[in-house]
Amino acid sequence: MGPYLSTPKTEKRTSTGESQRMRFATSDMQGWRVTMEDARIVNLQLDANTALFGVYDGHGGPEVAEFVTRHLCQELLQNQAYREGRLDDALRQSYLRMDELQQTPDGIRELIRISRDLPDSTPVNINDNQVQAGCTAVSALIRGNEIYVANAGDSRCVLSRGGLAVELSMDHKPDLPEELERIRRAGGTVEEGRVMGNLNLSRSIGDLEYKKNNSIPQKDQMITAYPDIRRELLTPNDEFIILACDGVWDMLTSQQCVDFVRQRIGSKSLSAIVEEMLDRCLSPEIGANAGLGCDNMTAVIVQFKHPLN
């Protein structure tokens, strides 16, 4: 079956939470894929005034996505820009820091353990490192009535503003002019929409084999973890955000996804809605939708209570 199962795994890992300012539900499903490589962050209280939500879609293995969920919150809290209230700079620096940590001896050991599903205390030899994984990273940092969305890759964050879908991130694909220019300047090529004929996105955390040009900064590598940042002031018309991996966005447009949630939010729980969304995006069989609907799927819905601040 190659990378696919004969029947999909439709069991879901769903969780919910609530604060005075917002409530969330998140769920993931392995689907037709042989392995589950997605991960997510749902943290209602990164600090007393700040929440963090994120979706990290792994490729080449689950280890980098899992690594990010273990370290991103702590790196943000330790970041000087974060402490000074410069949240956009803090997100940029923390994304790049994820790549730096993976190249330390402790980081290499941790990636090896994750890839082999070993306990944290298991001794491993860093010379055995064969990890070549990476992940997309879309994160929404919410403080007061401000939201900062950091994105690297093709997972996406969408806001429902009075029922209108507002995309708070842009999918990073190699054939976008700005991305293509950076890839070529770094010595890379794009063939049939893939960097070096392989990777079908142009920004990610991990994928370190594409980040070895020592003559240029990390943000200028052919594949970079450097995120785009979108800052948005939330208004009374802003109802919820949806963060999801491309397993969802391949099957639903941003507006369709917003409509899907809005049609149900008055009568169903967020957890039921997010689970229904994943079922809606699952292909009934491999090849039924030109291969779409067969990926891992992860989604987070965050509903705002008003007033936010």
Q: How would you class 104 by CB atoms within 10 Å of its CB: exposed for 0-12, middle for 13-18, buried for 19 or more?
A: exposed
What pLDDT, on a 0 to 100 scale, did the predictor assign at position 2? 53
CATH superfamily of 4-304: PPM-type phosphatase domain (3.60.40.10)
pLDDT at residue 59 is higher than 70 = yes
Percent of the chain with pLDDT over 90: 90
Reported confidence tier of residue 107, pLDDT bands at 50, 70, 90: very high
pLDDT at residue 5 is higher than 80 = yes
What pLDDT, on a 0 to 100 scale, did the predictor assign at position 289? 79
pLDDT digits (tens, 9 = 90+) for 266-288: 999 999 999 999 999 999 988 78
What pLDDT, on a 0 to 100 scale, did the predictor assign at position 1? 38
**Residue-averaged pLDDT of the chain:** 95
DSSP annotation of 204 reads -
Percent of the chain with pLDDT over 70: 98
Q: Please give the residue that has the higher pLDDT: either 228 or 116.
A: 228
Asked whether the beta carbons of 218 and 189 are under 8 A apart, the reply is no
Of 183, 182, 184, 152, residue with least CA distance to 170: 152
Q: What is the mean pLDDT of residues 50-65?
A: 97
Asked whether the beta carbons of 114 and 39 are under 8 A apart, the reply is no
What pLDDT, on a 0 to 100 scale, did the predictor assign at position 117? 86
What pLDDT, on a 0 to 100 scale, did the predictor assign at position 308? 65
Reported confidence tier of residue 128, pLDDT bands at 50, 70, 90: confident
What pLDDT, on a 0 to 100 scale, did the predictor assign at position 286? 85
Q: What is the mean pLDDT of residues 236-260?
A: 98
pLDDT at residue 245 is higher than 90 = yes
pLDDT at residue 56 is higher than 90 = yes
Q: What is the mean pLDDT of residues 112-139?
A: 88
- What are the Cα distances from residue 308, in Å, to 84, 156, 234, 240? 22, 23, 8, 12
Q: What is the mean pLDDT of residues 81-106?
A: 97
What pLDDT, on a 0 to 100 scale, did the predictor assign at position 189? 96
Asked whether the beta carbons of 151 and 138 are under 8 A apart, the reply is yes
